[in-house]
């Protein structure tokens, strides 16, 4: 009898919990619209940000333009990551060895090297999406009016087109 009562009580508690609980997930919104995120991801990830269908319908000129923007973006991001690493290491050396001649030598050299590829991730370096977007805008990777872009005035899921569409080459 006690087992049945306990089981019924448990079922009732579970039912009440399910009725009261709010199981809605809330995600952080970055404040950028779909078109802005599309341009950002295309610059950050290149052709890998696009689907197979998008790639198959895209002309070679647009594909090459995306590759060029992606390569420039990677150079800019590597430089940003190197600068963040240099700033952090300078802080560590200043804090731990303030009067050392080696520290003075290291603090004097703040140049980045394009040949060295920084493999640290953005989270470890404290770099967020807003910083990346602002650097991309300054460097010309993203348009200057990126923050005010509304997106193309066409169907919602249609990709933006080139101003001068590629002509189909006939053999």
Q: Report how many domains make up the chain.
A: 1
pLDDT score at 47: 93
Q: Which domain holds residue 58?
A: 31-142
pTM, entire model: 0.68
Question: What is the mean pLDDT for each group of 10 consecutive residues in the chain (171 residues)?
Answer: 69 71 59 90 92 91 95 95 91 88 83 88 92 95 90 54 51 44
Report yes or no on 9 lying in a domain. Answer: no
Neighbouring C-beta atoms of residue 104, cutoff 10 Å: 13
pLDDT score at 160: 57
Find out whether 142 and 40 touch, Cβ atoms under 8 Å: yes
pLDDT score at 73: 96
Report yes or no on 161 lying in a domain. Answer: no
């Amino acid at each position: 009898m006690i087992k049945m009562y306990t089981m019924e009580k448990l079922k009732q508690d579970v039912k009440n919990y399910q009725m009261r609980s709010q199981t809605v997930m809330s995600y952080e919104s970055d404040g950028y619209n779909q078109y802005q995120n599309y341009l950002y991801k295309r610059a950050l990830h290149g052709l890998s940000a696009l689907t197979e269908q998008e790639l198959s319908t895209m002309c070679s000129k647009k594909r090459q333009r995306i590759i060029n923007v992606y390569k420039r973006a990677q150079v800019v991001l590597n430089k940003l990551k190197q600068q963040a690493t240099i700033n952090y290491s300078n802080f560590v050396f200043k804090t731990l060895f303030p009067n050392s001649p080696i520290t003075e030598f290291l603090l004097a050299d703040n140049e980045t090297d394009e040949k060295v590829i920084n493999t640290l991730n953005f989270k470890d370096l404290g770099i967020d999406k807003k910083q990346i977007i602002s650097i991309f805008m300054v460097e010309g990777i993203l348009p200057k009016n990126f923050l005010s872009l509304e997106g193309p005035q066409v169907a919602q899921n249609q990709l933006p087109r080139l101003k001068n569409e590629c002509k189909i080459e006939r053999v």
